[in-house]
Amino acid sequence: MKTIDAQPAPRTVTVKEDLVHIFGRAERVNEGSTTYGIFHKYKGTFEAVNLKTGEVYRSSSLLLPEIADGILLPEMLARGATLGKEKTAKTPEVSGQPVSADAQPVDFALAIGVVPQESKDESGRGYQYSVRPLMEATTADPLASLRAVSQDAQKLALPAPESAPAPQAEKPSEPAKPHGGKKK
């Protein structure tokens, strides 16, 4: 949220509101940990729109607040994804696990917002994140739009010409008969 300039300053949230819409196609997921705890880093194609500024951010990696992670991670695991290890300061880099052969990428769209909290909340921020799905997560079909283009082209194509019987070749004219030669 901080990277897309949508993280409120501590103790400034007074009303519940959406901050950002995040949508994309998650293809794999890595797990890592920091002093703040375990996190999941999604790999794929993502876009976020800051609802206050209108700025659009695109990335091939995505970190979500824990509450939103609780929506996307189960969808990935249910479709066969396995957790890779994310590079952190204490662990060597291990490349992200590709989605296993039978795993499917997930298309999703989420609204992430904030809700004010009492001043003595655990985080000290004075707010907590909220999440609202904008669509049901679906199994992604990367070729669907291309397949649709092909189907549209098939619908628009002119029908093949009707097969007409092959034209019959004209009979060649009979060869000229030789004249009988000289008259006597």
Share of the chain above pLDDT 70, in %: 71
For residue 176 the two structure tokens come to 């000229």
Domain ranges of the chain: 17-146
pLDDT per position as a tens digit, 71-128: 999 999 998 888 877 655 444 334 444 444 457 899 999 999 999 987 655 667 888 8
- CA pair distance 138, 149, nearest whole angstrom: 21
- Helical spans, DSSP H, in 14-127: 66-78
Which phi and psi angles does 150 have, rounded to 5°?
-65, -40
Buried b (16+ CB within 10 A) or exposed e, 10-37: eeebeeeebbbbbbbebbbbbebeeeee
In the DSSP assignment, the letter for residue 72 is H
DSSP states of 106-136 as a string?
A: EEEEEEEEEEE--TT-SSSSSEEEEEEESS-
Q: Is the pTM of this model over 0.85?
A: no
Evaluate if residue 3 carries a pLDDT over 50. Answer: yes
